[in-house]
Structure 1
Amino acid sequence: MSEELDRYDRHILKILQDDGRISNQHLADQVGLSTAACWRRVKSLDERGILKRHTTLVDPEALGYGLCVMIMVTLIRHQQDHTKEFEAAVRSFPEVLQCYAVTGNADYVLRVVIPNMAAYDTFLSEKIFTLPGVNQVKSNFALREVKYETAIPVDLS
């Protein structure tokens, strides 16, 4: 980041992560700025890419996604073509919520939500196993959610 975040920017970020639907007036009141100054700061944070996107979090089970699976995928070789194809395909799969290229025993870790075991079997056989270069897939099923946060810690000091 080229510009440092001051205490107002950090306070704005903390509040927006807790409530992205807060009105500019209420945000400005909480931060201690005028509404115009607050709006300019939020616009700047957005333009600088510090605010990545505005969204609403939805309970997966409310939409019928009863399983959360962490999938470790290992590719045959670290070939650029396989890597690019794998990453492009994974980006297109709506059930994949996160995908990370990692070090260790796998090349990628995916967090997937899926309705049930039959749907997971179909997801593997029709999507993951059809990708070129996939060598090994290991799955871990979440038993329960212990902690789920989306807010990045903000130091207000």
Structure 2
Amino acid sequence: MKLLDEMDRKIIRELQRDARLSNTDLAARVGLSPSRCWQRVKRLEERGYIECYTAVINQKRMGLPDTVMVEVILDRHDDGFFEKFSQTISALPEVLEAYMTTGEYDFIIKVAVAGADGYEQFLRHKLYKIPGIRQTRSSFTLRCIKSNWSPPT
């Protein structure tokens, strides 16, 4: 796979800031003609550097102002069990992100909830209903210091 050049990186950075930019505005920001910019964006999409365009939703406005990081240890560690747990956890709307990890915990899950009551409901009625969870540990976040939706370019 061909590595990105500096112009590709500029295009990606601008689209990360505002994916709704018109091609004309994007081209002006990065210093390319609109046709050349469009060609580069299409190539970045085709090669998988740009996977999709999405809207970032404000959790507080959606009534879910709190973020909880949940560490999970499972009873079993076979591939089939990990896959089933991954599918189940991915289907829960409160789960914003879920990572299989190394170390003491098998998964770290980022959850959006409405306070302690909302988190208790999530635990009792959803997470703890999933078979095979041996242990969890939770931390409410105080505030987000940095949020970025993709790796550095």
Structure 2-normalised TM-score?
0.93
* Dislocated runs of 4+, deviation >3 Å: none
What is the alpha-carbon distance in structure 1 between the residues aligned to residue 141 and residue 3 of structure 2?
A: 39
Output one character per residue of 1:57-77: Cα deviation in whole Å (capped at 9) or x when no partner.
Answer: 122111111211000000012
1:151 to partner: Cα distance: 4.8
8 A Cα contact 1:85 1:132, kept in partner: no
Task: Tell me what 2:102 maps to.
Answer: 103
Q: Name 2:24's counterpart in structure 1.
A: 25
Q: Distance in 2 between matches of 1:30 and 1:144?
A: 32
CA offsets 1:13-61 (integer angstroms, 9 cap, x no match): 1111111111100111122221111111111111211112101212211
Give the corresponding residue for 1:128. 127
Aligned partner of residue 72 in structure 1, secondary structure: strand
Check the 8 A contact 1:74/1:136 in 2, yes or no: yes
Unaligned runs of 5+ in 2: none
Please name the residue that 1:137 is paired with.
136
Give distance in 2, aligned partners of 1:67 and 1:18.
24
CA-atom RMSD in angstroms: 1.3
User: Using the alignment, how far apart are the partners of 1:140 and 1:7 within structure 2?
Assistant: 39
How many residue pairs align between the two structures?
Answer: 153
Alignment of 1:8-157 (within 5 A): 8-154=7-153
CA contact (8 A) 1:85 1:131 kept: no
> Which amino acid is the alignment partner of residue 17 of structure 1?
Q
**Which residue type is aligned with residue 20 of structure 1?**
A
Question: Higher relative contact order by CA 8 Å / sep ≥ 6: 1 or 2?
Answer: 1
The residue type equivalent to 1:133 in the other structure is G
Residues 82, 132 of structure 1: 8 Å contact kept? no
The worse-fitting range, judged by mean Cα deviation, of 54-63 and 143-152 is: 143-152
When structure 1 is superposed on structure 2, of 50-59 and 99-108 the one drifting more is 50-59
1:18–1:151 CA contact under 8 A, matched in 2: no
Q: Secondary structure at the match of 1:17?
A: helix
Q: What CA distance in whole angstroms lies between the structure 1 residues aligned with 2:97 and 2:123? A: 16
TM-score, structure 1 length as denominator?
0.91
SS in 1 for 2:16: helix
C-alpha separation in 2, matches of 1:3 and 1:74: 39
User: Is there any run of 5+ residues in structure 1 with no aligned partner, and where?
Assistant: none
Aligned AA for 1:27? L
Q: Secondary structure at the match of 2:122?
A: helix
